[in-house]
Homo-oligomer: A and B are copies of this chain.
């Protein structure tokens, strides 16, 4: 399988075979992540973050450094030529001269796709508007597989804001390539986007519900998201929804013993801090997994 020079824009561009290959490759990055390497020595990653995201940006940078490469970039649209009125395609055609690969975070949907059309170097989508965040989906899949030993056969619940949260869109699509049962738990007004729902509904069995307690006893993986204030057009709507789902020790009591809790982070109060020290809590381990997955993608796309 050859990923050299390939853009990573949407999880939908990848077949199940390709995803499995990337997850397998991520596994082999675990030991390299611990001790460092020179696999990508002399290569430069540009992190172009038009929207702040320390977590994702530093994850890409750490992944590149652990492979022996180096990084340049910006963390805020405010300090770029955009302030002088430059459009994205011109910025891309500038930065592509400086770097061997670009990780792009941009507030507009479709921005990563547009960037890839203009760029000679590969684009890794690090989050585009509310639509896609494919490296997060790879990280989530990898965490499930690492913790449960498999993905097929699991009952997996996505909980919280399924409308604006881009991580759940990419993840739902990816999960639909596996033989799983998917629970979509959200308030009525934050239901999974229709276009995502439509694209996955014929491939797997889906249960939609507002009630989290009811499904807890049945599921193997609980993936809960932050209600993202910054994505709500109306703040009143946000304050109504905030805190509607909350995981605490009582929640865990009603679940399976080997239930695992995932969260894309940052969390606000969706998961009580008392849960952090239970064996079910895997959300901080996910952060580490994000590095190995990104190391795999960087090394596959920049393969020499």
Given the known interface contacts A75-B74, A83-B52, A90-B267, the answer about A59 and B98 at a Cβ–Cβ threshold of 8 Å is: yes
Q: Which residues of B contact A85 (CB under 8 A)?
A: 229, 266, 268
Q: How far is the CA of A59 from the CA of B81 in the complex (A)?
A: 13
A230 touches B (CB below 8 Å): yes
Q: Which residues of B contact A41 (CB under 8 A)?
A: 36
Q: How far is the CA of A230 from the CA of B72 in the complex (A)?
A: 26
A290 CB to nearest chain B CB (Å): 8
Q: Are A81 and B288 in contact (CB under 8 A)?
A: no
Q: Which of A31-89 contact B (CB under 8 A)?
A: 35-37, 41-44, 46, 52-55, 58-59, 61-62, 65-66, 70-76, 78-81, 83-86, 89
Given the known interface contacts A84-B230, A265-B94, A267-B90, the answer about A72 and B61 at a Cβ–Cβ threshold of 8 Å is: yes
Given the known interface contacts A35-B42, A36-B43, A44-B65, the answer about A58 and B95 at a Cβ–Cβ threshold of 8 Å is: yes
A99 touches B (CB below 8 Å): yes
A191 touches B (CB below 8 Å): no
A286 CB to nearest chain B CB (Å): 9
A284 touches B (CB below 8 Å): yes
Q: How far is the CA of A37 from the CA of B42 in the complex (A)?
A: 7
Q: A74-B75, A97-B290 are in contact. List 15 more A-B contacts (CB 8 A).
A: A36-B41, A37-B42, A44-B66, A46-B58, A52-B79, A54-B80, A55-B94, A81-B265, A84-B266, A86-B265, A86-B268, A90-B266, A90-B267, A97-B284, A98-B291
